[in-house]
Amino acid sequence: MQKTDEYLLAKLEEIKREVVSRHPNGGMQLEVWHQIGDGSHLFDFMDKMVWKKYFGISNIIVRLSDGTENTKANSILVNAHTDSTLPSPGAADDLVGVAAMLESLRVMALGKRRLTNSVVFCK
């Protein structure tokens, strides 16, 4: 998972640099946050209450906007994940969603259309 995060953060930095070069006077802003945390929650699994604990979970959050507070006031969230369980096909659940999200972000960030609301991408 660490290599995946490193790859994504490097790609996001490339996109961010290109956004700045294509929009030197503003008009498009890409903000990136990376958080790592631990936690737990209780859930019902087959009529049994089960504690699920997780450690070192990584989130990468990206907000694409025109840089104004007005645009940042309303957002749409696009979400995908890179973790997977042992029996599932990890690339299909849901790394392909992360790849689609990254490409959508790139196309939107480098396009000429001005955003009226921000888009938040979360991995």
Q: What is the DSSP letter of 13?
A: H
pLDDT computed for residue 25 by the predictor:
84
Q: What is the DSSP letter of 68?
A: -
pLDDT computed for residue 23 by the predictor:
86
- The residue type of 100 is A
pLDDT computed for residue 90 by the predictor:
64
pLDDT computed for residue 5 by the predictor:
93
CA proximity to 82, closest of 25, 123, 29: 123
Question: Mean pLDDT, consecutive 10-residue segments, the chain of 123 residues?
Answer: 91 96 89 95 89 90 96 95 74 83 95 92 95
pLDDT computed for residue 99 by the predictor:
93
Report the length, in residues, of the chain.
123
The pTM score is 0.84
- Contact present, 56 and 36 (Cβ < 8 Å): yes
CA distance 31 to 13: 10
